[in-house]
Amino acid sequence: MSKSSKTEIDEMGFGPFDIGPDGTESELEQAVWANLDEIPDPHIPLSLVEMAMIYDVDVDRDGVAQVDVSFPCMGCPAYEFIHDDIRGCLRTMDGITDVEIDVVWDPVWTKDMLDDEAREKLRESGIAL
């Protein structure tokens, strides 16, 4: 699974981005992250996790998965499709009873959130950053 969080400010002054798994996740939350990492972005050849669009995941003791997601732009034409993909992916998981999605804009998504692996995949597919 790609780790999209950044903890230090880069040479251009971006960051830190406190997004992505941080190692404190429960076993179920780790499984949620892994499943979310299988959902492709509808426009870019990366998963939603690799695109750094999934900011946080929390599963409460009742099995309700809270997913914080952002988008590269407001008015994304795939907004509803992505929501449906997230719900459909997680509702089939053992231990998940419901899915709540919260769209967050802080921090605002930026291509600087992409890790080196994601950047390389984009370059290999002909997408320049």
The residue-averaged pLDDT of 11-32 equals 79
The C-alpha atoms of residue 44 and residue 23 are separated, in whole angstroms, by 27
Give the helix/strand (H/E) hosting 35.
Answer: helix 27-36
Does 17 fall in a domain? no
In the predicted structure, residue 21 carries a pLDDT above the cut 50: yes
State the CATH number of the domain containing residue 71: 3.30.300.130
Cis peptide before 45 (omega within 30 of 0): no
What is the count of structural domains for the chain? 1
Does 105 fall in a domain? yes
Q: Taking CA 45 as the corner, what is the angle to CA 107 and CA 64, rounded to the nearest 5 degrees?
A: 55
Does 56 fall in a domain? yes
31-51 per-position pLDDT tens digit: 999 999 999 999 889 999 999
Does 3 fall in a domain? no
Count of C-beta atoms within a 10 Å radius of residue 88: 11
The total number of residues shown for the chain amounts to: 129
Does 62 fall in a domain? yes
Does 125 fall in a domain? no
The C-alpha atoms of residue 39 and residue 106 are separated, in whole angstroms, by 22
Which residue range(s) make up the domain with 62?
A: 27-117
In the predicted structure, residue 11 carries a pLDDT above the cut 80: no
The reported pTM is 0.84
Does 129 fall in a domain? no
Residue pair 55/70 in contact (Cβ under 8 Å)? The answer is yes
Does 122 fall in a domain? no
79-101 per-position pLDDT tens digit: 999 999 999 999 999 999 999 99
Those residues whose C-beta lies under 8 Å from the C-beta of residue 74, and which sit 6 or more positions away, are 105
